[in-house]
Amino acid sequence: MVAIAERMATVKHKILVLSGKGGVGKSTFSAQLAFALAARDFQVGLLDIDICGPSIPKMLGLEGQEIHQSNLGWSPVYVESNLGVMSIGFMLPHPDEAVIWRGPRKNGLIKQFLKDVYWGELDFLIVDAPPGTSDEHISIVQCLDAANVDGAIIVTTPQQVSLIDVKKEVNFCKKVGVKVLGVVENMSGLSQPISNLKFMKITDNGEMKDVTEWISEYMKEKAPEMLNLIACSEVFDSSGGGALKMCNEMAVPFLGKVPLDPQLCKAAEEGRSCFADKDCVVSAPALQKIIDKLMETSGLSMTESNGV
Amino acid sequence: MENGDIPEDANEHCPGPQSDSAGKSDACEGCPNQQICATAPKGPDPDMVAIAERMATVKHKILVLSGKGGVGKSTFSAQLAFALAARDFQVGLLDIDICGPSIPKMLGLEGQEIHQSNLGWSPVYVESNLGVMSIGFMLPHPDEAVIWRGPRKNGLIKQFLKDVYWGELDFLIVDAPPGTSDEHISIVQCLDAANVDGAIIVTTPQQVSLIDVKKEVNFCKKVGVKVLGVVENMSGLSQPISNLKFMKITDNGEMKDVTEWISEYMKEKAPEMLNLIACSEVFDSSGGGALKMCNEMAVPFLGKVPLDPQLCKAAEEGRSCFADKDCVVSAPALQKIIDKLMETSGLSMTESNGV
B9 contact residues in A (CB cutoff 8 A): 105
Of B145, B206, B255, which has the smallest distance from its Cβ to A172's Cβ?
B145
Report how far residue A153's alpha carbon sits from residue A115's, in angstroms, rounded to the nearest whole number.
23
Each residue's pLDDT tens digit, B144-183: 777 777 788 888 888 888 899 999 999 999 999 887 777 8
Quick one: pLDDT at residue B170?
94
Each residue's pLDDT tens digit, B282-322: 777 777 888 998 999 999 999 999 888 888 888 888 999 99
Contact A157 B277 (CB under 8 A): no
Residues of chain B with pLDDT > 90, as a percent, come to 29
Quick one: pLDDT at residue A185?
93
Read out DSSP for B152-194?
Answer: HHHHHHHHHHHHB---SEEEEEEEPPSSSSHHHHHHHHHTGGG
The answer on pLDDT for B193 being more than 80 is: no
Both A226 and A118 in one domain: the answer is: no
- Quickly state the pLDDT bin for B5 (edges 50, 70, 90): low
Of B184, B222, B284, which has the smallest distance from its Cβ to A266's Cβ?
B284
End of a domain among B248, B264, B280?
B280
Amino acid B63 reads L
Quick one: pLDDT at residue A206?
67
B153 contact residues in A (CB cutoff 8 A): 134
Of B244, B273, B316, which has the smallest distance from its Cβ to A215's Cβ?
B273
Both B133 and B270 in one domain: the answer is: no
Which residue would you say has higher pLDDT here, A241 or A183? A183
Contact A102 B179 (CB under 8 A): no
Q: Any known ligand binding at B292? A: no
Quick one: pLDDT at residue B1?
42
Q: Any known ligand binding at B220? A: no
* A82 part of contact set with chain B, CB < 8 Å: no
Chain A nearest-CA distance from B57, in A, is 30
Both A205 and A280 in one domain: the answer is: no
**In a domain? residue A304:** no
Contact A134 B142 (CB under 8 A): no
Closest by Cα among B61, B126, B137, B140 to B101: B137
The crossing angle, in degrees rounded to 10, of helices B330-344 and B73-86 is 70
Each residue's pLDDT tens digit, A104-133: 788 888 888 888 999 999 999 999 988 877
Report how far residue A20's alpha carbon sits from residue A156's, in angstroms, rounded to the nearest whole number.
8
3-state secondary structure of A303: coil
B215 contact residues in A (CB cutoff 8 A): 52-53, 96-99
Chain B nearest-CA distance from A23, in A, is 4
End of a domain among A179, A214, A230?
A230
Quick one: pLDDT at residue B354?
44
Chain B nearest-CA distance from A159, in A, is 8
**In a domain? residue B201:** yes
3-state secondary structure of B314: helix
Q: Are strands A190-193 and A230-233 parallel, antiparallel or unpaired?
A: antiparallel
Both A42 and A162 in one domain: the answer is: yes
Quick one: pLDDT at residue B80?
94
Contact B180 A21 (CB under 8 A): no
Provide the number of structural domains found in chain B. Answer: 2
Of A104, A161, A167, which has the smallest distance from its Cβ to B102's Cβ?
A161
**Residue range of the domain that includes B242:** 238-280
State CA B241 to chain mean position distance.
31
Q: Any known ligand binding at B14? A: yes
Looking at every residue in chain A, the average pLDDT score rounds to 85
Both B117 and B262 in one domain: the answer is: no
What are the C-alpha distances in Å from A220 to residues A2, A176, A213, B257? 68, 59, 11, 21
Q: Any known ligand binding at B69? A: yes
Residue of B nearest to A229 (CA): B248
Chain B nearest-CA distance from A293, in A, is 19
Contact B206 A269 (CB under 8 A): yes
The answer on pLDDT for B270 being more than 60 is: yes
State CA A103 to chain mean position distance.
23
Contact by Cβ (8 Å): B23, B35:
yes
Contact B100 A165 (CB under 8 A): yes
Residues of chain A with pLDDT > 90, as a percent, come to 30
Span of A291-305, B78-92, B133-147 with lowest mean pLDDT: A291-305
**In a domain? residue A255:** yes
Q: Any known ligand binding at B318? A: no
Contact by Cβ (8 Å): B336, B349:
no
Both B340 and B293 in one domain: the answer is: yes
* B129 part of contact set with chain A, CB < 8 Å: no
**In a domain? residue A306:** no
Report how far residue B124's alpha carbon sits from residue B5's, in angstroms, rounded to the nearest whole number.
36
- H helix runs in chain A, sequence order: 2-8, 26-39, 56-59, 103-116, 135-144, 160-176, 212-222, 242-250, 262-269, 283-297
* A236 part of contact set with chain B, CB < 8 Å: yes
Contact A135 B143 (CB under 8 A): no
Average pLDDT over residues A60-89: 90
Residue of B nearest to A199 (CA): B278
B199 contact residues in A (CB cutoff 8 A): none
Both A126 and A225 in one domain: the answer is: no
**In a domain? residue A17:** yes
* A251 part of contact set with chain B, CB < 8 Å: no
- Quickly state the pLDDT bin for A15 (edges 50, 70, 90): very high
* A177 part of contact set with chain B, CB < 8 Å: no
Both B137 and B218 in one domain: the answer is: yes
* B76 part of contact set with chain A, CB < 8 Å: no
Looking at every residue in chain B, the average pLDDT score rounds to 84
Q: For residue B201, give the CATH number of its domain.
A: 3.40.50.300
Each residue's pLDDT tens digit, A146-202: 778 899 999 998 887 788 888 888 988 988 889 999 999 998 888 888 888 889 888
Both A86 and A174 in one domain: the answer is: yes
End of a domain among B246, B261, B280?
B280
Residue of A nearest to B220 (CA): A98
Quick one: pLDDT at residue B206?
82
Residues of chain B with pLDDT > 70, as a percent, come to 94
A101 contact residues in B (CB cutoff 8 A): 8, 181
* B181 part of contact set with chain A, CB < 8 Å: yes
Read out DSSP for B103-143?
Answer: HHHHTT-TT---EEETTEEEPEEEETTEEEEEGGGG-SSTT
* A302 part of contact set with chain B, CB < 8 Å: no
Contact A237 B278 (CB under 8 A): no
Contact B99 A168 (CB under 8 A): yes
User: What is the DSSP code (8-state) at residue B307?
Assistant: B
**In a domain? residue A264:** yes
B246 contact residues in A (CB cutoff 8 A): 194, 226, 229-232
**In a domain? residue A305:** no
* B254 part of contact set with chain A, CB < 8 Å: no
Both A178 and A197 in one domain: the answer is: no
The answer on pLDDT for A305 being more than 60 is: no
Quick one: pLDDT at residue A306?
46
The answer on pLDDT for A304 being more than 60 is: no
**In a domain? residue A16:** yes
Both A57 and A202 in one domain: the answer is: no
Quick one: pLDDT at residue B84?
94
Which residue would you say has higher pLDDT here, A170 or A207? A170
Question: How many residue pairs from chains A and B have C-beta atoms closer than 8 A?
Answer: 252
Both B169 and B267 in one domain: the answer is: no
Quick one: pLDDT at residue B351?
52
Quick one: pLDDT at residue A9?
87
Q: Any known ligand binding at B70? A: yes
Report how far residue B83's alpha carbon sits from residue B80's, in angstroms, rounded to the nearest whole number.
5
Q: Any known ligand binding at B186? A: no
Report how far residue B284's alpha carbon sits from residue B209's, in angstroms, rounded to the nearest whole number.
12
Span of A271-285, B29-43, B104-118 with lowest mean pLDDT: B29-43
The answer on pLDDT for A249 being more than 80 is: yes
Quick one: pLDDT at residue B353?
47
Closest by Cα among A211, A220, A212, A182 to A196: A212
Chain B nearest-CA distance from A10, in A, is 30
Quick one: pLDDT at residue B43?
62
A226 contact residues in B (CB cutoff 8 A): 246, 262, 265-266, 270
